[in-house]
Amino acid sequence: MAPHSTATSEDLAATAMEHKIAQQPSLSSNGHGNGHVQSGEDNLPALDASKLIYTFADTSVRSVPSEAEATSGNETICTDHMITAVWKAGAGWSAPELKPYGPLTLMPTASVLHYATECFEGLKVYRGHDGKLRLFRPDLNARRMLMSTLRISLPGFDPAELEKLIHALLAVDGPKWLPASRPGSFLYVRPAMIGTQPQLGVQAPKEALLFITASFMPRFDSPPGGMKLHTNPEDMIRAWVGGFGYAKVGANYGPSLLATNEARKRGFGQILWLYGEEKYCTEAGASNFFVVWRTKDGRRQLVTAPLDDKLILDGVTRRSVVELARERLGEELEVVERKYTIDEVIEADKEGRLIEAFAAGTAFFICPVSQIRHRDYDVNFPMVKGDSGQYTSMIKGWMYDIMYGNEQHPWGVVIDEKKQ
């Protein structure tokens, strides 16, 4: 039975999304796919990881750089292989291929180059202190990528098949690029999908390319003295209700760079994006934002923006922070997801009720925030544990232990590595 529609006849985008979601078994109420998710054509091939074709690179050609070397230049250093899969409206999904990392070929009229028909995900693979290779909750990333593809009219797929393809790439490249001799290290995994139909005209693409790469990424989670945020200018916002801030599409990020670069020239690391006349706190750069404060009646709260208006991204790190804090800090810290304003933060600062703040995301992990500059007012957060707050440090430690195998937890998904 189709889910009850909450959209009116005028809500074209919402209605279209409901129809697309209803066609995806993997987004049904039980959350389990049946391996036959199609892209509007029931008799066409679905994305199928069991059909993966392997073409191996000569792995002796490239050596693995140190983390410092790999992140010091202007080019992202990727591993030996990548995975690609082609989709066409009249043919469905082709067999995916694992092949040597290299350039993609696109026509100048490809949809992605003109109409921003692209989306992506970001997750990390970790070399644990127990020697094992792990992903952190990859099922959430795979399901969120499906939501993003549907939002911009790219083809659907079973998220479980995407997750299997990620495993396949890391099983091959993990042993070399994250060797057991480097415990505590990670690679960044980037699944992406782009519209490739070589035809100008604003329309849903009839051709698309899925590709997955793994690369080095700098560590952003421990800036000296904590991250400093500057609120966005009055004439600029990053996302809006009724938009696509909840989907991980490139159009969310490019337009924000102008203000971000200006903030960095002034000594700030990221923008704290405010929304509406009320100036609700939403995200810190592309990361979710958390504040710990005492309420006026003395209760300690961990507060972050809600997801119900689809203004911000449902971050995997955000979700994990909320769940861990409720499970492990519930007796001393109330976890609240609600709209709150920068004026509330300033009021708490003036009344001495602020405890700490942090940003949470895949790239920035758990990053302590030390300051917010809003117009001509500076909010300064206590850093009681060196360059971090007490709860920030505690939550970050729990997350680290799960990711790197110090704590055996269902969120840490072990990769079955292949030795070439």
**Per-residue pLDDT tens over the stretch 126-135:** 999 999 999 9
Mark whether 81 and 156 lie in a shared domain. Answer: yes
Q: Residue 247 in contact with residue 148, Cβ under 8 Å? A: yes
Confidence of residue 43 (pLDDT cuts 50, 70, 90): confident
Residue 411 included in any domain? no
Mark whether 29 and 175 lie in a shared domain. Answer: yes
Fill in the amino acid letter for 88: K
Mark whether 387 and 312 lie in a shared domain. Answer: yes
Q: Residue 183 in contact with residue 168, Cβ under 8 Å? A: no
pTM for this entry: 0.91
Residue 34 pLDDT greater than 60, yes or no: no
**Per-residue pLDDT tens over the stretch 317-332:** 999 999 999 999 999 9
Which of 17-26, 40-49, 160-169, 269-278 has the least mean pLDDT? 17-26
Q: Which of 357, 359, 333 is nearest to 345 (CA)?
A: 357
Residue 132 included in any domain? yes
The domain tally of the chain equals: 2
pLDDT of residue 372: 98
Query: Positive or negative CA dihedral for 388, 389, 392, 398?
Result: positive
The last residue of one of the domains, among 215, 248, 271, is: 215
Residue 420 included in any domain? no
Mark whether 156 and 305 lie in a shared domain. Answer: no
Residue 416 included in any domain? no
Mark whether 184 and 271 lie in a shared domain. Answer: no
Question: Which residues have a Cβ under 8 Å from the Cβ of 238 and sit 6 or more positions away?
Answer: 232, 245, 252, 255, 256, 271, 273, 282, 283
Mark whether 299 and 151 lie in a shared domain. Answer: no
pLDDT of residue 384: 82
Mark whether 235 and 189 lie in a shared domain. Answer: no
**What six digits make up the tokens of 97?**
């291929």
**Per-residue pLDDT tens over the stretch 126-166:** 999 999 999 999 999 999 999 999 999 999 999 999 999 99
Q: Residue 157 in contact with residue 149, Cβ under 8 Å? A: yes
CATH of the domain at 388: 3.20.10.10
Residue 358's domain comprises: 227-403
Pairing of strands 334-337, 300-304: parallel
Mark whether 250 and 371 lie in a shared domain. Answer: yes
The last residue of one of the domains, among 215, 246, 263, is: 215
pLDDT of residue 31: 40
Give the angle 110-189-128 at the CA atoms, nearest 5°: 175
Residue 414 included in any domain? no
Give the Cα separation of 79 and 176 in Å (integer): 9
Residue 105 included in any domain? yes
Mark whether 172 and 274 lie in a shared domain. Answer: no
Residue 177 included in any domain? yes
- What percentage of the chain has pLDDT greater than the value 90? 80
Alpha helices by DSSP H, listed for 50-100, are 67-70
Pairing of strands 354-361, 92-93: unpaired
Residue 8 pLDDT greater than 80, yes or no: no
CATH of the domain at 106: 3.30.470.10
Mark whether 169 and 231 lie in a shared domain. Answer: no
CA quadruple 358, 360, 364, 366: dihedral, nearest 10: 60
Mark whether 111 and 233 lie in a shared domain. Answer: no
pLDDT of residue 351: 97
The last residue of one of the domains, among 190, 215, 240, is: 215
Q: How confident is the model over 225-236, as a mean pLDDT?
A: 91
Residue 1 included in any domain? no
Mark whether 199 and 234 lie in a shared domain. Answer: no
